[in-house]
């Protein structure tokens, strides 16, 4: 049975790979793509999402979402994703029309239209759209199968010593998502930093020799350069968001452990930190499955396969 | 040549073993002990310190009572479920022939530091209320300290009292924040290393059948191991405080990195967390030597070996 | 009737006025302790010695205290008190040496030496009092009462929207002082802002031939400039002198007891005295109850002004 | 200082004299007792064109608030006013805290009719705010008299909302007066400080009608008697005020008086109540975790200089209004005559 998902993202190099895996792997079906300001401003990430759809032959509704966080001033990450938010490759012109609906409405419409318990939300950027959708239509909380979000960490952050970028960007929205009564999988830095796109992986993708694969190689090379420079990742950049979609393709791709997770909203040094309680010290029931250990070869095998099969499909289509 | 040392402590089982290790070690010249409220109330920690030093034939070392409650907070509660109601895990020690020193903890620390020929090392094994008071009340005296070696906090292994806070820092975060930013060199011996510096019951065999000190130490270890088994399911007990003393005896027993450390005082969920900037993201000046690895075997041999030697010397 | 008191100050201009007020209205200075605040602590110490010696009080020991707040970096207010803390009026400094540099320990020693007799009057950040409490938890039992110039209850602050300078400059110490089980009078902006000297009072000081008035008049000018900018009229507000006055003559005012705490963790509101004026809870009875403070309800301002002018010989 | 002369920059022309076109008002409320009076005032007063009502959790849960809002617009003879259901809890998902002890289990002082009347429109209150703001650019005044969750959500949905509304007037906060739920925090702000922080930070003209004035504008038994002499609407209002006055007698005033609270926000927005002192200053909401959580921190340090202009100031903080305004409210409601809606209590079988 294929996993049906909505990808709420801020492309974003690793978001691009997540979109491509979602489109290329038969075990999942991409129902919609919604965008939210994060790695870059909303217009840029939305244009990047449409460009990735064009290059990957994705034909699903794409809607633009929130311009910024619920309460706090906006932050973006040009030092990692560049001015356009997807520097590196040449971005093709979009082939899809942007869906007129607000991302929040598209999420609600899809979840309410599909059978209860069949749609997974996969947010890979700040959680503003998800929090707004929950508030606007509380019924989706019971209908959504699971939320698999890329964000947070149980040891330390990257935007600040304690907070990961997506959660730090909109801590109030993140707290709303973690405290809602739906199953959540937190794919944090502890997991995604294991998912580096090393030279051998880039070589295998280059070997596919399609327009799509060379696009992915350009993405990974730029992404690798900024991560090497900014955070000292010499082997290759951690492709965070890819891991969320990979887990829906194959739950063996990483192990998880139950915990109670809450977001710190009032810290001087710890705002936006995902406080992860594995040992029940807070005495709260567990509310999150926290991703722990990655099966790296399995991740990259399915990704290369997806790029290969997608290349065959789109190349066949464009010739 | 032994180095002058002050110990600020809230005995407390692991504190007791740490004080034994300090007295047993020729490298350290114990000039004074100051007590603080933490594992249990101040009157217990002061009394325990006096009785411990009496057990170790060191009634010459002055013991001064310090702060019973944190600098500011009034919602900190003692860890009696770990150390027993009066802090010694039910072990009864003979009463000491003397009471606590008339001076306050800060006054005793000031006198020891000012009268010492070479710089004093201050080993802090409990909440940092007294140390913060020293930094505040007598900054010029504190500046003469060689170093503060404190047991507290965590860089990657964040907390034991809450998911992100270790007990000593959680108990008085405002004081800890002041100590890390106090300008005196600090070595932080946190959970990243104390969780590896463990002992099993078998490790303590050299003390079995020993004298009065050995009997007391084994009594404490039995209580501590039983508690540890209850909530962690294993009998490998972390020797938090004695690792801090060991780090003062032989600094190379832990590997440290100089990093910036802040203490969270405002966070509803993260109060008491040591925010260690491992990735140098904050751009703040790195001032604290944070212990990240430990020679666990070397530590274990040092601890048990030195205690066995001291027990032999003290006799029945 | 004289009152034995320890005066904890950060001698700037209104601290000077308070010392002069005390000298002329029956204050018996057992000692002066100095804290950081308007000016760095060593400048404050020098000024305190200068003012005392100018009044002939050369036997009053002065102890230098805390150089910075307990938990935040030092900030001073030379823009109000002048670079030298005495209005840059070229006052010749006394050469007398301070009696010591551990003010907090001195407060504890004095309180122990005459249990229950001393009044503590603090008109700067409360770091010295906070440290004294840390050094001697029994201090509240050893002093008669405490009068602090600080806080702003139901009125805007001055250092921030809600924070008055003395509390704002060391909220942690202020919390310790508020929590201690002693009889604490908090003389805040809600009452001190109403003690502005009228023009005719200023005239009397200017025209007086008394050496105290002639010493005070040039020192005050800088202070009058500051208030002319912030209040639109050339006057000065007698913050610290009012604290001294109410320590010497409590009957000049009527009081009410309220529960109060200091906000330590607010993003905008750190350093605010949070007092419960709602009136839902029964009014506290015991001023010595931790967290209960006395604040001024009404003040006989005219009588206070007269005593201030008489202390200046104006 | 008469209305015509005053010039407070940001709010030029907001003040209406009798003759000008009525102000379009979208009322966002957690319909308890004083909210009911606010809806009645907005529905009945010629200076107000009530274009919509949004319900939010707060005094009562959002279902009860929605039902009471519908009942009130129908009672006022305005079944045409769209009522939309809003947020059921705070922005961050913290548990909702209600005030049934103040407003009664039914939110109408336990004196409501117990009947459900009319249907809420489709879509949420936040969505209705965006829809009406886009339909009448620059004309609709948002008057929020409950927790500000709906306004924060509307900002999330439509970032250009601040440019599309005429302004925002809230009943909430306390500038110099003490708080009510805490020493310094007023209930509406304290219920959802994060949402309030978003509303205070948004670049729209904001007017804060806080406890500084609402605690001083009260109704007493004399007013209640005059209301009871009015038509069925007056009698209904007199009925629901009984429990409300009981709360204030026991908790706040020691005598049977009650605050008008929410009505003042509608009147200040519509200009039928002109504040005698309302400086425009910088204002923030404290979202920390200490004793001042939910405090509206207003920079009033200019008070000694007659409040000179502050750069970056966009919040008009109402500090003084005429307490006699209560008479005008009683006049309006007691002269509203009978409602077409039967207002007897339905005897629950």
- Identify the residue with better confidence: D289 or B29: B29
Query: Pairing state of beta strands D315-318 and D280-281?
Result: antiparallel
Residue C165 in this model has a pLDDT that exceeds 70:
yes
Q: Do B178 and C70 touch (CB under 8 A)?
A: yes
Q: CB–CB of D33/D109 below 8 Å? A: yes
Note the pLDDT of residue D4: 32
- Answer yes or no: do D159 and A66 touch at CB < 8 A: yes
Q: Give chain A's mean pLDDT.
A: 94
Q: How many CB pairs under 8 A join C and D?
A: 76
Q: Is the pLDDT of residue D343 over 50?
A: yes
Catalytic positions of B are 240
Q: Count how many Cα atoms sit within 13 Å of the Cα of residue D138 in the half-sphere of its side chain.
A: 2
> Is the confidence at residue D18, as pLDDT, over 80?
no
Note the pLDDT of residue B139: 84
Residue D16 reports pLDDT greater than 60:
no
- How many Å apart are CA B83 and CA B40, to the nearest integer? 8
pLDDT band per the 50, 70, 90 thresholds, residue D9: very low
Task: List the alpha helices (DSSP H) in C73-210.
Answer: 78-81, 103-113, 127-135, 139-142, 165-168, 171-179, 189-192, 199-207
Q: What is the mean pLDDT of residues D31-39?
A: 96
How far, in Å, CA of C107 to CA of C134, rounded? Answer: 12
Query: H or E segment at A256?
Result: strand A254-263
Q: Does D156 touch chain A (CB under 8 A)?
A: yes
Contact C48, C62 (CB under 8 A): yes
Instruction: Give the CA count within 13 Å in the CB-facing half-sphere of C129.
Output: 35
* pLDDT 10s digits, D292-336: 999 999 999 999 888 999 998 999 999 999 999 999 999 999 999
Active site annotation includes C239: yes
> Do the Cβ atoms of C308 and C241 come closer than 8 Å?
yes
Whether D17 shows a pLDDT value over 50: the answer reads: no
Does pLDDT of D6 surpass 50?
no
Chains near B with 3+ CB pairs less than 8 A apart are: A, C, D
Confidence bin at C129 (pLDDT 50/70/90): very high
Q: B69 to chain C nearest CA, in Å?
A: 10
Strand, coil or helix: C187: strand
What pLDDT is stored for residue A50 in this prediction? 97
- Residue C20 and residue C51: Cα distance in Å, rounded? 8
Instruction: Write the pLDDT tens digit of every residue in B189-204.
Output: 999 999 999 999 999 9
Residue B163 to residue A158, Cβ atoms within 8 A: no
- What number is the average pLDDT over the span C55-80? 91
Point out which residues pair with B7 in neighbouring strands: B33, B123
pLDDT band at A313 (very low <50, low <70, confident <90, very high): confident
Predicted pLDDT of residue B125: 97
CA B217 – CA B240 distance, rounded (Å): 15
B107 pLDDT above the threshold of 60: yes
CA B284 to chain centre: 27
Location of structure tokens 């601890």: B303
Q: Which residues contact D119 (CB under 8 A, 6 or more apart)?
A: D70
> Rounded to whole angstroms, how far apart are CA atoms C261 and B74?
12
Backbone angles phi, psi at C294, to 5 degrees: -100, 130
Distance of alpha carbon B72 from alpha carbon B75, whole angstroms = 9
DSSP per-residue letters across B6-74: EEEE---HHHHHHHHHHHH-TTEEEEEEEE-SSSS-HHHHHHHHHHHHHHTT-TTS-EEE--SS-SS-S
Distance from CA of C268 to the nearest CA of D (A): 6
Cross-chain residue pair A155–B281, CB shorter than 8 Å: no
Contact: C137, B68; criterion CB under 8 Å:
yes
Please write the tens of the pLDDT for every residue from A98-130: 999 999 999 999 999 999 999 999 999 999 999
Q: What is the mean pLDDT of residues D244-271?
A: 91
pLDDT of residue D15: 45
Q: Which residue has the tokens 């909210």?
A: D35
The CATH superfamily assigned to B3-314 is Ribonucleoside hydrolase-like (3.90.245.10)
Q: Do B269 and A262 touch (CB under 8 A)?
A: yes
Read off the pLDDT of each residue in B212-219 and give the average, rounded to a whole number: 94
| Closest to D99 (Cα-Cα) out of D38, D67, D142, D146 | D146
**CA–CA distance, B67 with B106 (Å, rounded to integer):** 9
Tokens of A150: 């890329």
pLDDT exceeds 50 at position C170: yes
**CA–CA distance, C33 with C309 (Å, rounded to integer):** 25
Q: What is the pLDDT of residue C265?
A: 82
Q: What's residue B111's pLDDT?
A: 95
Does A276 reach chain B within 8 Å, measured CB to CB? yes
- Using the predicted structure, report yes or no on whether residue A318 has a pLDDT greater than 60: no
Neighbours of C233 (CB within 10 A): 12
User: In this structure, what token pair is assigned to residue C314?
Assistant: 């104006």
Per-residue confidence (pLDDT) for residue D290, from 0 to 100: 86
Assess whether pLDDT exceeds 80 at residue D349.
no
Asked whether the predicted pLDDT for residue B208 surpasses 60, the reply is: yes
For every residue of D284-337, DSSP letters joined together read EE--SSSTTTT-EEE--GGGGGT----TT--EEEE-B--TTHHHHHHHHHHTT-
The single-letter DSSP state of residue C136 is -
Mean pLDDT in residue range B2-14: 95
Closest CB to C172: pick one of B72, B74, B266: B72
Residues on chain D touching C267 (C-beta within 8 angstroms):
284, 286-288
Distance CA A161, CA A174 (A): 18
Q: How far apart are CA B284 and CA B286, in angstroms?
A: 6
- With bands split at pLDDT 50, 70 and 90, how would you rate the model's confidence at A316? low
Structural domain boundaries of chain C? 3-311
Q: Best interface-test mutation with B: which of A154, A262, A268 has the largest number of B CBs within 10 A?
A: A268
- CATH number listed for the domain at residues C3-311: 3.90.245.10
Lowest mean pLDDT among B74-88, C199-213, D133-147, D286-300: B74-88
D329/chain A closest Cα distance in angstroms: 35
Beta strands D257-259 and D218-220, pairing class: antiparallel
Which DSSP helix (H) or strand (E) runs through A36?
A: none
Instruction: Please tell me the distance from the alpha carbon of residue C104 to that of residue B141, in angstroms, as a whole number.
Output: 14
Residues of chain C found within 8 Å of residue B266, distances taken between Cβ atoms? 264-265
What per-residue confidence (pLDDT) applies to B87? 87
Phi, psi of C228 (to 5 degrees): -60, -40
pLDDT above 90 as % of chain B: 79
What are all long-range contacts of A278-284, with beta carbons under 8 Å and residues at least 24 apart?
A278/A154, A278/B163, A279/B163, A281/B159, A281/B160, A281/B161, A281/B162, A281/B163, A282/B162, A282/B163, A282/B269, A284/A260
The answer to whether D290 contacts chain B (CB < 8 Å) is yes
Question: Which range has the worst mean pLDDT, B46-60, C82-96, C267-281, D232-246?
Answer: C267-281
For chain D, give the percent of residues with pLDDT over 70.
93
Q: C154: part of which helix (H) or strand (E)? A: none
DSSP assignment letter at B310: H
Q: Assess whether D34 carries a catalytic annotation.
A: no
C183-199 average pLDDT score: 96
Query: Cα(A81)–Cα(A49) distance, rounded to whole angstroms?
Result: 14
At residue D13, the pLDDT reads 38
User: Could you count the other beta carbons within 10 Å of the beta carbon of residue A105?
Assistant: 21
Give the gap in angstroms from C-alpha D91 to the nearest C-alpha of chain B.
17
CA-wise closest residue to A216 among A235, A236, A231 = A236
**Per-residue model confidence as pLDDT tens digits over A37-95:** 999 999 999 999 999 999 999 999 999 999 889 888 889 999 999 999 999 999 999 99
Confidence class for position A150, pLDDT limits 50, 70, 90? very high
For residues C159 and C170, the answer to whether their CB atoms sit within 8 Å is no
Q: Kindly list the residues from chain B whose CB atom is less than 8 angstroms away from the CB atom of residue A266.
A: 266-268
Nearest to B136 among C66, C136, C264 (CB): C66
Q: What is the mean pLDDT of residues D340-346?
A: 84
| Average pLDDT estimate for C120-129 | 96
Average pLDDT, chain B: 93
Task: Write down the pLDDT at residue C1.
Answer: 67
Among C157, C263, C279, select the one facing D292 at the smallest CB separation.
C263
Alpha-carbon gap, residue D146 to D163, rounded angstroms:
22
């Amino acid at each position: 049975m294929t996993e049906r998902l909505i990808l709420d993202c801020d492309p974003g190099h690793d978001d691009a790979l997540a979109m491509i895996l979602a489109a290329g792997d038969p075990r999942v079906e991409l129902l919609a793509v919604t965008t939210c300001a994060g790695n870059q401003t909303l217009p840029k990430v939305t244009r990047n999402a449409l460009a990735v759809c064009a290059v990957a032959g994705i034909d699903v509704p794409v809607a633009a979402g929130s311009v910024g966080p619920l309460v706090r001033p906006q932050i973006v990450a040009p030092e990692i994703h560049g001015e356009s938010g997807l520097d590196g490759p040449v971005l093709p012109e979009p082939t899809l029309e942007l869906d007129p609906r607000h991302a929040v409405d598209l999420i609600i419409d899809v979840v309410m239209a599909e059978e209860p318990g069949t749609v997974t939300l996969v947010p890979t950027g700040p959680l503003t759209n998800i929090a707004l959708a929950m508030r606007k239509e509380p019924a989706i909380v019971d209908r959504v199968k699971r939320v698999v979000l890329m964000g947070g960490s149980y040891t330390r952050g990257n935007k600040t010593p304690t907070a990961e970028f997506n959660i730090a960007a909109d801590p109030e929205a993140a707290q709303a998502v973690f405290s809602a009564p739906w199953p959540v999988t937190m794919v944090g830095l502890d997991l995604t930093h294991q998912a580096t796109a090393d030279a051998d992986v880039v070589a295998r993708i280059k070997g596919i020799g399609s327009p799509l694969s060379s696009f992915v190689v350009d993405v990974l090379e730029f992404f690798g350069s900024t991560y090497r420079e900014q955070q000292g990742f010499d082997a290759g950049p951690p492709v965070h968001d890819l891991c969320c979609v990979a887990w829906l393709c194959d739950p063996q791709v990483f192990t998880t452990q139950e915990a109670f997770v809450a977001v710190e909203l009032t810290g001087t040094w710890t705002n936006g930190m995902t406080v992860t309680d594995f040992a029940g010290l807070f005495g709260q029931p567990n509310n999150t499955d926290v991703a722990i250990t990655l099966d790296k070869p399995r991740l990259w095998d399915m990704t290369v396969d997806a790029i290969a099969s997608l290349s065959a499909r789109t190349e066949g289509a464009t010739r | 040549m032994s180095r002058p040392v002050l110990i600020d402590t809230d005995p407390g089982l692991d504190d007791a073993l740490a004080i034994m290790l300090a007295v047993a070690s020729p490298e350290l010249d114990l000039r004074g002990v100051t007590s603080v409220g933490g594992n249990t109330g101040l009157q217990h920690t002061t009394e325990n310190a006096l009785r411990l030093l009496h057990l170790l034939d060191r009634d010459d070392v002055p013991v001064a009572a310090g702060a019973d409650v944190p600098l500011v907070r009034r919602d900190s509660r003692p860890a009696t479920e770990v150390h027993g109601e009066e802090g010694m895990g039910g072990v009864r020690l003979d009463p000491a022939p003397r009471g606590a020193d008339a001076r306050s903890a800060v006054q005793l620390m000031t006198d020891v530091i000012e009268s010492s020929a070479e710089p004093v090392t201050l080993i802090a094994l409990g909440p940092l209320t007294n140390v913060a008071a020293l930094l505040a009340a007598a900054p010029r005296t504190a500046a003469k300290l060689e170093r503060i070696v404190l047991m507290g906090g965590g860089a990657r292994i964040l907390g034991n009292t809450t998911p992100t806070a270790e007990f000593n820092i959680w108990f008085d975060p405002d004081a800890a924040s002041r100590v890390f930013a106090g300008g005196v060199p600090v070595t932080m011996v946190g959970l990243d290393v104390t969780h590896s510096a463990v002992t099993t019951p078998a490790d303590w065999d050299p003390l079995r059948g020993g004298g009065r000190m050995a009997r007391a130490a084994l009594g404490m270890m039995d209580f501590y191991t039983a508690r540890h088994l209850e909530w962690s399911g294993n009998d490998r007990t972390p020797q938090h405080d004695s690792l801090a003393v060991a780090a003062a005896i032989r600094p190379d027993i832990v590997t440290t990195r100089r990093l910036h450390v802040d203490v969270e005082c405002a966070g509803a969920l993260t109060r008491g967390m040591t925010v260690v900037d491992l990735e140098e993201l904050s751009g703040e000046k790195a001032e604290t030597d944070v212990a990240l690895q430990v020679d666990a075997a070397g530590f274990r041999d040092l601890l048990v070996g030195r205690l066995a030697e001291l027990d032999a010397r003290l006799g029945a | 009737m004289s009152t034995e008191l320890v005066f904890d100050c950060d001698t700037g201009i209104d601290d000077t006025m308070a010392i002069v007020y005390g000298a002329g209205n029956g204050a018996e200075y057992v000692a002066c302790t100095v804290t950081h605040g308007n000016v760095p602590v060593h400048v404050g110490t020098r000024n305190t010695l200068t003012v005392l010696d100018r009044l002939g009080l050369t036997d009053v020991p002065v102890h230098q205290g805390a150089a910075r707040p307990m938990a935040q970096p030092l900030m001073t207010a030379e823009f109000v008190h002048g670079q030298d803390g005495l209005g840059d009026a070229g006052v010749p400094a006394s050469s007398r040496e301070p009696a010591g540099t551990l003010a907090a320990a001195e407060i504890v020693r004095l309180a122990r030496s005459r249990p229950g007799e001393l009044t503590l009057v603090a008109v700067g950040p409360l770091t010295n009092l906070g440290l004294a409490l840390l050094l001697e938890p029994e201090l509240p039992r050893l002093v008669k009462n405490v009068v602090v110039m600080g806080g702003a209850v139901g009125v805007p602050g001055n250092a921030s929207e809600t924070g008055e300078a003395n509390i704002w400059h060391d909220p942690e110490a202020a919390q310790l002082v508020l929590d201690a089980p002693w009889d604490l009078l908090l003389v805040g902006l809600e009452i001190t802002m109403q003690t502005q000297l009228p023009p005719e009072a200023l005239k009397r000081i200017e025209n007086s031939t008394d050496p105290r008035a002639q010493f005070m008049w040039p020192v005050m000018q800088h202070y009058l400039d500051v208030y002319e900018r912030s209040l639109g009229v050339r006057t000065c507000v007698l913050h610290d002198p009012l604290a001294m006055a109410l320590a010497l003559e409590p009957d000049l005012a009527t009081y009410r007891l309220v529960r109060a705490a200091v906000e330590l963790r607010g993003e905008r509101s750190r350093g605010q005295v949070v007092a419960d004026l709602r009136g839902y809870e029964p009014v506290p009875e015991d001023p010595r109850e931790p967290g209960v403070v006395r604040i001024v309800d009404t003040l006989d301002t005219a009588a206070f002004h007269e005593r201030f002018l008489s202390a200046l010989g104006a | 200082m008469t209305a015509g002369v005053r010039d407070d920059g940001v709010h030029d022309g907001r003040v209406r004299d009798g003759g000008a076109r009525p102000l379009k008002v979208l009322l966002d409320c957690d319909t308890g007792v004083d909210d009911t009076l606010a809806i009645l005032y907005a529905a009945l007063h010629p200076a107000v064109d009530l274009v919509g009502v949004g319900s939010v959790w707060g005094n009562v849960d959002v279902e009860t608030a929605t039902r009471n809002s519908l009942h009130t617009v129908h009672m006022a003879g305005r079944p045409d006013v769209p009522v939309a259901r809003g947020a059921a809890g705070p922005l961050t998902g913290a548990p909702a805290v209600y005030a049934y002890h103040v407003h009664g289990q039914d939110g109408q002082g336990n004196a409501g009719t117990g009947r459900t009347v009319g249907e809420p429109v489709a879509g949420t209150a936040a969505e209705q705010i965006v829809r009406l703001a886009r339909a009448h650019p620059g004309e609709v005044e948002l008057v929020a008299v409950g927790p500000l969750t709906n306004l924060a959500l509307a900002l999330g949905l439509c970032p250009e909302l601040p440019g599309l509304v005429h302004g925002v007037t809230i009943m909430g906060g306390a500038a110099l007066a003490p708080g009510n739920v805490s020493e310094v925090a007023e209930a509406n702000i304290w219920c959802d400080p994060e949402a309030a922080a978003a509303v205070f930070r948004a670049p729209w003209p904001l007017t804060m009608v806080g406890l500084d004035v609402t605690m001083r504008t009260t109704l007493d038994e004399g007013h209640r008697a005059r209301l009871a002499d009015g038509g069925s609407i007056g009698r209904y209002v007199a009925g629901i005020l009984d429990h409300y006055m009981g709360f204030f007698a026991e908790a706040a005033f020691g005598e049977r008086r009650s605050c008008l609270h929410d009505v003042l926000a509608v009147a200040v927005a519509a200009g039928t109540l002109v504040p005698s002192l309302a400086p425009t200053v910088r204002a923030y909401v404290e979202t920390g975790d200490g004793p001042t959580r939910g405090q509206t921190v207003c920079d009033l340090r200019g008070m000694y200089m007659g409040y000179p202009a502050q750069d970056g100031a966009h919040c008009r903080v109402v500090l003084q209004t005429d307490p006699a305004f209560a008479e005008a409210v009683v006049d309006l409601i007691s002269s509203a005559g009978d409602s077409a809606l039967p207002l007897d209590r339905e005897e629950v079988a």
